Amino acid sequence: MKKAMQVLPKITLKQLSVFVSIYQTGSTSRASEALHLSQSAVSSALTELEARLQMPLFERVGRRLNQHPNAHPIYIQAQAILGQALTLEHYHKHQAGQIHIGASTTIGNYVLPPLLAKLYATLPDAHIDMYIANTQEVVSEVEQLNIDIALVEGMPRPTDMKVIEQRAWRTDTLMIFTKRDSKWLTDMAAYNDADNCYELSIAQLAKLPLLVREAGSGTRQIIDEQLLKHLPDAEIVMAIQQSEAIKHMVSADIGLGCLSQHVIQAELTAGALVQVKVAGIDLSRTWWLVWHKARHQSPIWQSFIDILTEN
């Protein structure tokens, strides 16, 4: 006779919800407060989940819970399952659905707003949450399943390529720029009236102070890979987190800047800032769509993809 296989009770959404809350808050007491459950109920749910998974998720050290190496991959899967359950639960109540969108700084501040307007026009009752940070931080949130889809500058560098899907979206060009009649270029650069720009050689640019974005941003990634490699002795005056701050500092003639054309277009048109062209330097780049392969692709997710790719 064949021996009957033991069938373990199924894992419940409550157990996964309790585990995620403990993982995020770091203790059963804080998880019980967040979930409005007794601490004993929380502890029991965690114990049952560990028994059914047949693996520990936390290590008990006195009254403290330290994450076991097993916890992180289970957390990722639990987030995905709970997200799908939430979408299903609220589908009829919130027909338009909910979406968490991430964007790197340049895209989030200068390109995303009209795209969101199109999404609201398509789905007036949509619930949209936004997260804007540098590329590295946004991709990290995608990996943690805290974001449904992200739009980032430069090539994404997730820690685990197997779980991340990425698709080329648009092309963009970075521009080196300066204040009109800048003291740094008065005796150095030729001004091209036809193209309304200064023209420099790589050697000339290397002698001038540069204001750039911080490490981890998509803009800085392109500057490192396509500009600074030609300028090993360049003077980086500051690494700055905000593009607007760079614009204002360049306007104060502290140095030259390098940002997306979208960031400085209004100032170029008004003549307050002027492009600096450097022979032999190509600062074009690709923008990317990024999402977690485990993320549920809801109807609003697909509507947003359609808007992003219609052009």
Ordered DSSP codes for 112-169: HHHHHHHHHHH-TT-EEEEEEE-HHHHHHHHHTT--SEEEEES----S-GGGEEEEEE
CATH assignment, 93-170+286-310: 3.40.190.10
CATH topology assigned to domain 13-89: Arc Repressor Mutant, subunit A (1.10.10)
- Residue 297: per-residue pLDDT: 84
The H-or-E segment that residue 58 falls in is strand 58-61
Query: Model confidence over 178-200: pLDDT tens digits?
Result: 998 899 988 777 788 878 889 99
* Distance of alpha carbon 123 from the chain centroid: 24
How much of the chain is helix, strand and coil, in % rounded to 5? Answer: 40, 25, 30
| Banded pLDDT at 245 (limits 50, 70, 90) | very high
- Residue 27: per-residue pLDDT: 87
Percentage of the chain beyond pLDDT 90 is 47
Query: Model confidence over 195-219: pLDDT tens digits?
Result: 888 999 888 898 899 999 988 888 8
For residue 236, pLDDT beyond 90: no
3-state secondary structure of 99: strand
Q: Confirm whether 13-89 and 93-170+286-310 share one CATH topology.
A: no
CATH assignment, 172-285: 3.40.190.10
Select from 158, 155, 184 the least CA-distant residue to 254. Answer: 184
Determine which of 16-30, 90-104, 118-132 has the lowest per-residue pLDDT on average.
Answer: 90-104
For residue 94, pLDDT beyond 60: no
Q: What is the pTM of this model?
A: 0.67
Domain residue spans of the chain: 13-89, 93-170+286-310, 172-285
